[in-house]
Structure 1
Amino acid sequence: MLTCAQCSKPMDAPPRGRRPRYCSRSCQARAYRARAAVRKGSPPHSAGNGELPPRTPPARPPEGMSVRQIVRAAVEIADREGLDAVSMRRIATQLGLATMSLYRFVSGKDALIELMVDAVHGENGDDAPVDAGWRTRLEFAARREWGIYSRHPWVLRIVATPQPPVGPNVLAGVERPMRAMDGLGLDAVTMHWVAIAVGAQVQGAALLLVNELETKRRTGRTTQQWRSDKSPAIRELLDSGRFPMLTRLFEEQEDVADINAWFEFSLERLLDGLEVFVDGRAGVGKRSGVAGRAGVEGRARVAGRAGVTGAEATC
């Protein structure tokens, strides 16, 4: 007797032609799925009637799991091993979850990275005193951004672009320096350009910092060790007499320049230039209150570095 190869149901043999193996298209489809499962290494178990058991739905995430926890785990991985180490599978492993369960909270890695960037921009940082002048407020904003790159080097390559992630904390990082310039007679576009200039200064310095941290993480070699390795070759070139200024630098600078100290120096020089710009645009006589005091104090600070007395600086 002819029977179905899937459900063993008796079938009538055709008078001519090829004999069928299945009694229906549904049995043929079930048999195909069974063969596919075997090829993948997970042979199905019969439910007793030739049917495959129903698929088990994906495990639900444990109670209390949230987007914030997933983002925090992703940030920890990126801080330790770099952004390339972050994957949905890796995060799920760290949290003890099934990978697919993460998609209940975030749509994918790109969306996750945007959440990561916004989260670290929301970390607590020092804010300028309420009555501080514009220069002090810009300094605080710049150092706050510098702190983000120092703690999370991977962030720089995501935000140093004309098309950065957009989130409330990222936007607050742009709003902060613009507010510092408010009340000085500048239009919004100019204030935004000032914010970009300060941010570009921070990011340029941070590029050196981030590359140093990444190199040390990957190779274990510090900049001091690099200089020690390169010193013989550098000394040989300097001894040629072709580089008198670098020779002088090599003799006067005993150690590798501190990147944090260089950042502070470059930030101060940028603010000195902005101070001249603000004075030229607004005029000392037209400013009052906090802004006016900031201009006078700033000029005194610049003059002090040049050896000018306090009375001369305020004239």
Structure 2
Amino acid sequence: MTSQTIAAEIAERIASGELAPGDRVPSARGITRDWGVAIATATKALALLQHRGLVVSTPGIGSVVASPGATTGPPLSTARVVSTAISMADAEGIEAISMRRIAAELDIPTMSLYRHVESKDGLVLLMIDSVLGEESFPPPSDTDWRADLEVSARLQWAGFQRHPWLAGVMSISRPQLVPNGFRYTEWCLRALAPLGLSMETMMYISVSVFSHVRALATDIAFEAEQRQDTGLTADEYMTTRSTDIAAMVSPADLPLLASLVRSDDFDLDLNALFEFGLQRLLDGIEGWVSRG
């Protein structure tokens, strides 16, 4: 099945009133599942609908049926291209981002984008820098490095929650060269500077804290995708699988896990895991610093 056929079927549902202005249309992943096509075909179908002005991308929701008479917005600029891409990624994931799709959303020729961004990779760098610049750092205390690192970690965690795609495009070994990323690192180094540690050690501490935040944040995107596709929260999903889990966890072979399953008092809450891991990580660093 082609992207044109899928777009035509969704357009017919809009024309018939089955999908009204403001209603969500199937996401790229939903199209992939329901029509049995590749994600690229699904993305092209949505791009066709957007180019025809039938749907628009709404932050935090996804693609929805456009209201009659909707306008294309302010004049094109780099900031508008980046903002559009961020909204699209927030709603549908980073896989939804393509120059063709963004051009369709902005109702402009694809080549016009290259006057403002050099490439898709360049666009992603601008997106990363933009979302990392959303937070304002308070001045480091110069006396409580641990509290300062907690502030940094929580600001990063909040950013990953607002933008679930972000963790998946950031790298530890090949960090993106973006000004606001350097700002985060500089702030952490200033917080650690009064300890008199070597620059290498301070960088190891900064990267270790970031790694903890990013590692957990990678599951935010997965959870968002699953919730959009299934309509179930993580707790609701676990409830639907409780019988299967109980059947797999035998008290004879796995007595501790079986006891945990029977007690039903443990939730894999990402926020709780973030806080627990952060505090234990800082406990370890603090103990190591005090011994040095």
TM-score when scaled to structure 1? Answer: 0.65
The match for 1:203 is 214
Alpha-carbon distance in 2 for matches of 1:129, 1:184: 13
Partner SS for 1:97:
coil
Is residue 72 of structure 2 the alignment partner of residue 72 of structure 1? Answer: no
Alpha-carbon distance in 1 for matches of 2:144, 2:154: 16
Alpha-carbon distance in 1 for matches of 2:219, 2:260: 19
Q: Is the contact made by 1:128 and 1:140 (CA closer than 8 Å) also made in structure 2?
A: no
Aligned-pair CA distance for 1:127: 3.4
Alpha-carbon distance in 2 for matches of 1:194, 1:255: 30
Q: Is the contact made by 1:159 and 1:165 (CA closer than 8 Å) also made in structure 2?
A: yes
Q: Is the contact made by 1:178 and 1:194 (CA closer than 8 Å) also made in structure 2?
A: no
Is residue 271 of structure 2 the alignment partner of residue 260 of structure 1? Answer: yes
Alpha-carbon distance in 1 for matches of 2:142, 2:288: 22
Aligned residue among 156, 165, 169 for 2:176:
165
The match for 2:185 is 174
The match for 2:6 is none
Alpha-carbon distance in 1 for matches of 2:249, 2:75: 63
Q: Is the contact made by 1:146 and 1:202 (CA closer than 8 Å) also made in structure 2?
A: yes
Give the % identical residues.
37
Aligned residue among 128, 133, 148 for 1:117:
128
The match for 2:258 is 247
Alpha-carbon distance in 2 for matches of 1:251, 1:131: 48
Which consecutive residues of structure 1, in runs of 5 or more, have no partner in the other structure?
1-61, 282-315
Alpha-carbon distance in 1 for matches of 2:133, 2:274: 22
The match for 1:48 is none
Is residue 113 of structure 2 the alignment partner of residue 102 of structure 1? Answer: yes
> Highest Rg: 1 or 2?
1
Amino acid at match of 1:135: R
Aligned-pair CA distance for 1:168: 0.4
Aligned-pair CA distance for 1:83: 0.8
Is residue 231 of structure 2 the alignment partner of residue 220 of structure 1? Answer: yes
Partner SS for 1:182:
helix
Alpha-carbon distance in 2 for matches of 1:92, 1:173: 32
Q: Deviations over 1:114-154 (max 9, x none)?
A: 10011111012563664651000000101111111111111
Partner SS for 1:176:
helix
Q: Is the contact made by 2:251 and 2:259 (CA closer than 8 Å) also made in structure 1?
A: no
Alpha-carbon distance in 2 for matches of 1:209, 1:245: 28
